[in-house]
Chain A
Amino acid sequence: MVSRPHGGRLVDRVVRGRRRERLLEEALELPRVELDAGLASDVANIAHGVYSPLEGFLVQEDYESVLYDMRLSSDIPWTIPIVLDVDPSQVAGVREGDDLALFYNGRPLALMRVEEVYGWDRGEYAERVFKTRDPRHPGVRKVMARRELLVGGPVDLLAEPPEPFEAVRLWPKETRVLFEARGWRTIAAFQTRNVPHTGHEYVQKAALTFVDGLFINPLVGWKKPGDYRDEVIVEAYKALIKHYYPRDSVVFSVLRMEMRYAGPREAIHHAIVRKNFGATHFIVGRDHAGVGSYYGPYEAWDLFREFPDLGITPLFVREAFYCRKCGQMVNEKICPHPEEYRVRISGTRLREMIKRGEKPPEYMMRPEVAEVVLSHPNPFIEEGEAQG
């Protein structure tokens, strides 16, 4: 049986039918807050149950509980505060119990019942969530630029934000039906923000050996400069799956959610989200959701051990590398050979090769994947580039 949703119930706050028509009209008369792409995807994720049991943006009690104790005030594990930030002018005159219209791209997206407006300390947020206030950390830089107040309360989704990858985007309700239809009882989820190299393939297939199905669920949405573009990740995975995966054992779909680069805390968040999609297992590799050297390579593994009640089983997989003596991808647990035989599959090195237009060797990247990446005029996000 697939995992039960986090907190026991899959949240559904998508408004449908006549009620939707009526609320869309009402939204035009309400005080409005224009959202950026990241917040718009948060609203959709709340409404579709990706963030179950959250019904809306966090109120102060939950915010502080998550920040300091990594749990909601109901004691349910939750590690990344999901918050809506506003300028004071945007909520002037708004009181507890009022409705706010949340707009995206000039159109009504959702309604929010305001439960609370409160101040927050962005530096403290950074310290707790990212374990640093260093402005060079991409997550810290983003948080420090956010607005002064937070608004907490439930949201009701009236319209779907645009999704260029609609054909490969599934919501938790859909994956749950899909997994059931395929007869899968155990599902390993794989989180990624990269194009696949042979190390990723090794890890995914190692997990798939022991479960019924593999759920590859890359993040699309805001990422830091230097990361791969969403369309490159999607096309690269399509190529890999087409040529190297048994079709009936894998489900590929994207999740529109910002990378936060919060390392261990974000690893737990990623696991909870995949539990809501129905995954029973979650693959946690080296330096999960990390950036630079802010987190230890296996620090996320330790944090998982603090949550006996997470409800999804982490699969801790060590870094894979190619061993010239073994003649295949291995990890240090199964390869007895010394370092001189080992070739590390470095993401940084791969990026450099791709930037130079060089095709990576086959032991690092499948030729079909390399072809997709190299055929893109600019596979990487550039500094200062606006991202939808």
Chain B
Amino acid sequence: MRGWSWGWRLLAQRSRRRGRYTTVSIPVSLYERISRLIEGTGFTSVSQFVTYVLREVVSEMEEEKLRSEAVSEEEKAAIIERLRRLGYL
């Protein structure tokens, strides 16, 4: 969330956006809390704020869930050999 108000101000100023959108439901009380929270921050709507926060959370969860394909031992040995030959190791 570091520095989000600056960033969002830029985003809100962009004139033309073409992303597709859908609707999700949140409790009215939460909606009102967020509305109060974002006053004067640069976020221009609750939807913008929620999108920003969700992207941060979702990417962190994906990082945990996704595993990069491990390099095979054979491939790793070949890479180490090349790195040695080039003087990196």
The answer to whether A167 touches B56 (Cβ under 8 A) is: no
**Cross-chain contact B68 with A308 (CB below 8 angstroms):** no
* B56 close to A8 (CB less than 8 A): no
Contact A303 B71, CB 8 Å, known A8-B66, A181-B83 = no
Could you say which residues of chain A place their CB within 8 Å of the CB of B8? 305-306
Q: Complex Cα distance A306/B67, Å?
A: 26
Q: Does B63 contact A (CB under 8 A)?
A: yes
The distance from the CB of B47 to the nearest CB of chain A, in whole angstroms, is: 14
Q: Are A69 and B19 in contact (CB under 8 A)?
A: yes
Whether a CB of chain A sits under 8 angstroms from the CB of B26 is no
Q: A8 and B88: CB pair below 8 A?
A: no
The B-contacting residues of A in range 54-68, CB under 8 angstroms, are: 64-65, 68
Is B17's beta carbon under 8 Å from chain A? yes
Q: Is A309 a contact of B88 with CB atoms below 8 Å?
A: no
A303 to B10, CA, bound (A): 7
Contacts of A12 in B (CB 8 A): 69
Q: Is the CB of A355 closer than 8 A to any CB of chain B?
A: no
Tell me the number of A-to-B contacts counted with CB atoms below 8 Å.
84
B7 touches A174 (CB 8 A): no
**Which chain B positions have C-beta within 8 A of A5?**
68
In whole angstroms, what is the CA distance A184 to B5 when docked?
33
Question: In the complex, which of the residues B1, B3, B10, B68 contacts A9, with contact meaning CB atoms closer than 8 Å?
Answer: B68
- Bin the interface of chain A by size: 20 to 34
Q: How far is the CA of A174 from the CA of B75 in the complex (A)?
A: 10
Residues of A within 8 A of B89 (CB): 178, 181-182
Q: Tell me if B52 is interfacial: C-beta within 8 Å of chain A.
A: yes
| A177 pairs with B18, CB closer than 8 A | no
Enumerate B25-82 residues with CB–CB distance to A below 8 Å. 52-53, 55-56, 58-60, 62-63, 66-69, 71, 75-76, 79-80, 82
Known: A174-B79, A181-B80, A181-B89. A309 touches B58 (CB 8 A): yes
Contact check, B68 vs A251: say whether CB atoms are below 8 A apart: no
Per the bound structure, the CA–CA distance linking A151 and B69 in Å amounts to: 28
Complex formed: what's the CA distance from A303 to B6 in Å?
9
CB-based nearest B residue for A124: B16
| A4/B17 in contact, CB under 8 A | no
Nearest CB in chain B: distance from A91 CB, A: 26
Question: Cβ of A173 and Cβ of B79 under 8 Å apart?
Answer: yes
In angstroms, how far is the closest chain B Cβ from the Cβ of A364? 30
A311 within 8 A of B: yes
CA distance A311 to B68 in the complex (A): 14
Within 8 A of B (CB), among A164-216: 167-168, 170, 173-174, 176-178, 181-182
Find chain A residues with CB under 8 A from B24 CB. Answer: none
- Interface residues, chain B, with chain A CB atoms under 8 Å away: 1-4, 6-8, 10-11, 16-19, 52-53, 55-56, 58-60, 62-63, 66-69, 71, 75-76, 79-80, 82-83, 86, 88-89
User: Can you name 16 extra interface pairs (CB under 8 A) apart from A8-B66, A305-B10?
Assistant: A8-B67, A8-B68, A65-B19, A168-B86, A173-B71, A174-B83, A177-B79, A177-B83, A181-B80, A181-B83, A181-B89, A182-B89, A305-B6, A307-B7, A309-B56, A309-B60
Q: Which 3 A-B pairs have the closest CB atoms?
A: A305-B7, A8-B66, A309-B59
Interface of A with B (CB < 8 Å)?
Answer: 4-5, 8-10, 12, 64-65, 68-69, 71, 75, 167-168, 170, 173-174, 176-178, 181-182, 251, 302-309, 311
What are 28 contact pairs spanning A and B, CB under 8 A? Answer: A4-B66, A5-B68, A8-B66, A9-B66, A9-B68, A64-B18, A65-B19, A68-B18, A68-B19, A69-B17, A75-B55, A168-B86, A170-B83, A173-B71, A173-B75, A174-B83, A177-B83, A302-B7, A303-B7, A305-B2, A305-B4, A305-B6, A306-B7, A306-B8, A306-B11, A308-B1, A308-B59, A311-B63
